[in-house]
């Protein structure tokens, strides 16, 4: 089982990790730190075959993207990345033409919730499928048992709760006559009338993204998850500082390795200003208020 984390640090720091996922310019969404192709090449050289580097290529693809996407996929095949996270089937169609679909991991965010769907996507010859964050521990374990070493899950990070192609923040601030710079602005928070938490929200050229008001905490259930053959566990680092990502990665690495400690208390006590929760592990989505 592999632990993969978002990487947002200086390239020289890549050696601190065994497996990372990096966002690439033009084709990554749901991220707050991107790298250029030349930086990714430098990263691979710096990793010296000791670090498995995955690429986040999860943007919705349009006709005008196809030519550049094909070039990027050919290049990724050439430099031998460990894998490619995607969410638009246009990526699969091009990858199939280039005979590299075995590098793909389908990670659409909120739609993979049962074994039948997993098996359908795996039948395409891709490397793996990432489950929706919102399904329960029981459901995740059942799906992983039915698809050993082919299913991955996010175990830490803010969870994407809503995405819209509409420029909701731009519309809101225009309607309220407020001037707010939205470019690369990851500091905005949204408060619902019926909830107390503050949900991270941001807008880019592709739309508006709203995240959970808490960081997913899986320490309580790591031993249960480790009894099943998951392909990987992933730490999603959007809105997290570099130091937090490093600390979460270190703690989960130890927990997965069987080193006993109260990691949940250690992490939460270090960041008392943040909310941590694991409600979806035990409560079905329809029951979460």
pLDDT at 1: 87
pLDDT at 109: 87
- The answer to whether residues 20 and 14 touch, using CB atoms and an 8 Å cutoff, is yes
Within a domain: residue 143?
yes
Read off the pTM: 0.95
* Count of structural domains, the chain: 1
Whether the CA torsion 43, 47, 49, 53 is positive or negative: it is negative
Within a domain: residue 204?
no
Within a domain: residue 109?
yes
Within a domain: residue 169?
no
Count other Cβ atoms within 10 Å, centred on residue 190: 18
Q: pLDDT band at residue 194, thresholds of 50, 70 and 90?
A: confident
pLDDT higher than 70, residue 287: no
**Average pLDDT for 196-220:** 95
pLDDT at 285: 65
Within a domain: residue 128?
yes
pLDDT at 114: 96
- Residue listed under structure tokens 């990526």: 91
Structure tokens at 258: 């069987």
pLDDT at 210: 96
pLDDT at 193: 86
pLDDT higher than 90, residue 284: no
Q: pLDDT band at residue 48, thresholds of 50, 70 and 90?
A: confident
Chain mean pLDDT for the chain: 95
pLDDT at 195: 82
pLDDT at 288: 56
pLDDT in tens, 104-113: 999 998 899 9
Kindly report the CATH number assigned to the domain that includes residue 111. 3.20.20.70
């Amino acid at each position: 089982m592999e632990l993969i984390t978002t990487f947002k640090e200086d390239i020289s720091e890549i050696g601190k990790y065994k497996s990372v996922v990096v966002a690439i310019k033009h084709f990554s969404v749901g991220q707050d730190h991107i790298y250029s192709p030349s930086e990714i090449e430098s990263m691979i050289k710096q990793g010296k075959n000791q670090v498995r580097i995955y690429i986040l290529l999860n943007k919705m693809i349009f006709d005008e993207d196809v030519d550049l996407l094909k070039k990027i996929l050919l290049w990724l095949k050439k430099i031998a990345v460990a894998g490619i996270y995607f969410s638009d089937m246009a990526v699969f169609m091009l990858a199939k033409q280039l005979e590299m679909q075995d590098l793909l991991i389908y990670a659409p965010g909120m739609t993979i919730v049962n074994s039948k769907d997993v098996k359908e996507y795996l039948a395409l010859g891709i490397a793996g499928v990432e489950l929706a964050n919102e399904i329960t521990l029981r459901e995740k374990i059942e799906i992983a048992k039915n698809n050993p070493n082919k299913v991955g899950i996010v175990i830490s990070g803010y969870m994407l709760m809503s995405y819209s192609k509409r420029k909701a923040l731009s519309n809101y601030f225009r309607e309220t006559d407020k001037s707010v710079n939205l470019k690369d602005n990851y500091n905005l928070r949204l408060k619902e009338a019926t909830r107390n938490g503050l949900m991270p929200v941001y807008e880019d050229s592709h739309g508006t993204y709203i995240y959970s008001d808490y960081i997913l905490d899986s320490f309580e259930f790591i031993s249960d998850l480790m009894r099943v053959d998951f392909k990987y566990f992933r730490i999603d680092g959007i809105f997290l500082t570099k130091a937090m990502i490093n600390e979460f990665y270190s703690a989960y690495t130890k927990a997965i390795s069987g080193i006993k400690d109260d990691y949940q208390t250690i992490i939460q006590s270090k960041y008392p200003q943040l909310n941590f929760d694991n409600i979806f592990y035990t409560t079905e989505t329809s029951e979460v208020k």
